[in-house]
Amino acid sequence: MPLDHTDAWHPTVNPSARMPIHHHRHHAVLGHGHGILNETPRRRGGTTLRLPRIHDGRLHVLQLAGPEHLAFAPWWLPASDTVSVQAIRGLYDTALDHPAPTRRERTVLAHLRDDFTARCTRTGDRLTVGEALWQAADTLHRAVVPTLPELTLTSLTRSPVRHILTGALAQVPGGLLPALQGWARQEQQPMFPLLAVATSPHGIPLRVRLHARTGRLDTTPLTAGSARPTPLTEDGLLALLEAGRLIPGARLTALAETAQHLTGQRVRHFGNAYGHHRTAARLLEAPTATAIPCCPDDQDSWHYADLPYENPTRYPLHLIELAACDPAAHRAASALIDTALLRGEPVHLELKGDLGETVRSGGARLLR
């Protein structure tokens, strides 16, 4: 059996039109419906709520809540962590306090918020915050587009894949820290400030940093600007990963997958790799490891439909505004998904009177 490490989907408070394509591509590329939910926090990642509006033949996008309310989301913390749950719930509350959402949009926003909160309350430590949000969004998306394939994404903190990654990092040829130092020298970086994220014994989200010149690791609170760093050893990092209290960043993941590949194990990576497997292959003298990524970056999935916005950019559909449209628009979205999968690119919609009409019109053109 190959090691399939999938990190192509992040939790997000309003999934984009990429999500249905990701579902289909996951099955098509890997041949199964199980994977890892990418809970590595990204600045401005997954915490923005916007709504599109069509006025005077142009698209306008209103931001209701975003990174100014929550810069880094601690997706990997347990769903019993009330501070983290309230932070995500607060994004929906902020959006609902905004005067812009329509009645139907308010219904969808409240539904997502309440489903997420109920899953956290019901499951506690059996899910992470990211898993609870993923499941709530996936359930709503499946109600809107029933043709979506079934997909189960699990936090690395609870998946047995973490044991494989831990063992692989412990066997990096020449040692893990020297490999990371060599990587930093290649990129002329004095520090990797977000090598991984972790959880302290007191449940505080941490960032793991590498100081390139000395090879020293330390941790600081993820969101605190001036906290005193705590030293971390290589063994300590591996122990956190083994215990389900650490999420490796993209560089650590690439090193682990490359080291596993060197043992003769088949390794497949589904999701953006940012060129890291090429770097890891050079560092570990494993030229064939460049084949580990299943797809080039941004070809694992794509938006199934988008709208003309500020030339030359286009704005993708998102779940909340689609769910607030009528059932005819939902049926049209299924046709748009099928066409985007066939073409391998988004369907470019033409703006009509409102979003529902825009989606229905785009689907009708395809169904003729």
pLDDT at 171 over 90: yes
Q: How far is CA 349 from CA 43, 219, 330, 356, in A?
A: 30, 46, 15, 12
Annotate 325-367 with DSSP letters as a single string: S-HHHHHHHHHHHHHHHHHTS-EEPPP-SSHHHHHHHHHHHHH
* 3-state SS class at 152: strand
Residue 214 CB burial class (10 angstroms; 0-12, 13-18, ≥19)? exposed
Q: What is the pLDDT of residue 46?
A: 87
Tell me the average pLDDT of the chain: 94
pLDDT at 368 over 60: no
One-letter amino acid at 46 equals G
Q: What is the pLDDT of residue 225?
A: 66
Please say whether the beta carbons of 347 and 362 come within 8 A: yes
**Spatial distance between the Cα atoms of 253 and 169, rounded to a whole number of angstroms:** 9
Peptide bond into 293 cis (omega under 30): no
Q: Which residue is it, tokens 């109600």? A: 143
Average pLDDT over residues 188-203: 95
> pLDDT confidence of 213, banded at 50, 70, 90?
very high
pLDDT at 229 over 90: yes
**Spatial distance between the Cα atoms of 274 and 9, rounded to a whole number of angstroms:** 15
The model's pTM: 0.95
Q: What is the pLDDT of residue 42?
A: 77
pLDDT at 224 over 80: no
In this structure, what are the phi and psi dihedrals at residue 227, rounded to the nearest 5 degrees?
-70, 150
Work out the end-to-end distance of the chain between its first and last CA atoms, rounded to an integer number of angstroms.
Answer: 44
- pLDDT tens by residue, 1-28: 689 999 999 999 999 999 999 999 999 9
pLDDT at 367 over 60: no
